[in-house]
Amino acid sequence: MKAELGDDSLPGGDLVRDGLTDLAAGRESTASLLVSIGAPKLRACGIEVPAAIDEPNLRLYRLLQRTHGDAAHSRYNALIRRLVSYERALECAR
């Protein structure tokens, strides 16, 4: 069975789906910043990604710092790991 975009059976699929929705609506969110970080790889996998947000790594970290304080670094790393897991699973499902 081939995985489809937003398929929650893929690790991080919920974040990617939400990020694509937020990007299309022009919203800056944790998910849209994460998708902006992964935009080149996601596009290479055949996913249409709306215009990515500039400086997504820095903006995501600052957003996490405001909401998670000292835990921002570990939260940032966890989100990046989920994105990478999604990208790898998507490559395997193609």
Give the mean pLDDT of the chain. 90
- The percent of residues above 90 in pLDDT, for the chain, comes to 80
What are the extents of the domains in the chain?
13-93
- Residue range 27-68, pLDDT digits in tens: 999 999 999 999 999 999 999 999 999 999 999 999 999 999
How much is the pTM? 0.89
What angle is formed at CA 60 by the lines to CA 56 and CA 61, rounded to 5 degrees?
Answer: 120
| Cα 74 from Cα 25, distance rounded (Å) | 28
